[in-house]
Amino acid sequence: MSAATKTAREAWENEFREPSLDELRGMFNENEVRLFDSCLEGAEALGGVTGRISWEGVPWRWCVRFEHPEAGEQPFAYLAPSPEGPELCVPLTSECVDSIPLRRLKRYGRDAIVKAKKVGSTRWPSWTISAKTELEELLDILKRKHRFLTAK
């Protein structure tokens, strides 16, 4: 582990000091930085979605918590800079999952939703993003969740 990666990981794990976005991105290689930034930009491009750095405890530690006014207290999504790569978690209510045509999703997106842990009526699928095609699938899921929330 390089010194820069070690410093970034320490910033990610230290709950008593809020890191900057650059510090969180510091543990990634060039490709992972592009994926992280593209995911961040794609989520914030959705109307009403805002992101802020937030401590969320283990396993996400410091991450970007996306919020939308129609989601209420539940987060719209999380983008965590885990050591394995950028990780996106999109909490989905049962009604939202029912509105998503799962058969049209690629296996990567669909399997995580179907197999996600369920707390109450909310599923918590998460994905480690390692390729642009995966990111495109996840941005589509974010758009579908946004459409579901804003159609209410």
The domain ranges of the chain are 30-150
Residue 1's pLDDT is 63
In contact, 105 and 137? CB cutoff 8 Å: yes
* Arithmetic mean of pLDDT, 28-32: 94
What tokens does 18 get? 């809020």
Domain 30-150, CATH number (from 3.90.1150, 3.40.50, 3.40.1000, 3.30.1050):
3.90.1150
77-132 confidence digits (pLDDT tens): 999 998 899 999 999 999 999 999 999 999 999 999 999 999 999 999 999 999 99
The packing angle between helices 132-150 and 30-44, to 10°, is 20
User: How far apart, in Å, are the Cα atoms of 45 and each of 24, 35, 39, 54?
Assistant: 21, 15, 10, 19
> Among 104, 54, 45, which residue's Cα sits nearest to residue 75?
54
* Arithmetic mean of pLDDT, 14-38: 93
Residue 152's pLDDT is 66
Q: For residue 2, which amino acid is it?
A: S
Residue 54: CB atoms within 10 A of its CB come to 16
- Express as a percent the part of the chain with pLDDT over 70: 97
- Express as a percent the part of the chain with pLDDT over 90: 82
Report which DSSP code applies to 70: G
Q: What is the mean pLDDT of the chain?
A: 93
Q: Is 72 buried (19+), middle (13-18) or exposed (0-12) by CB count in 10 A?
A: exposed
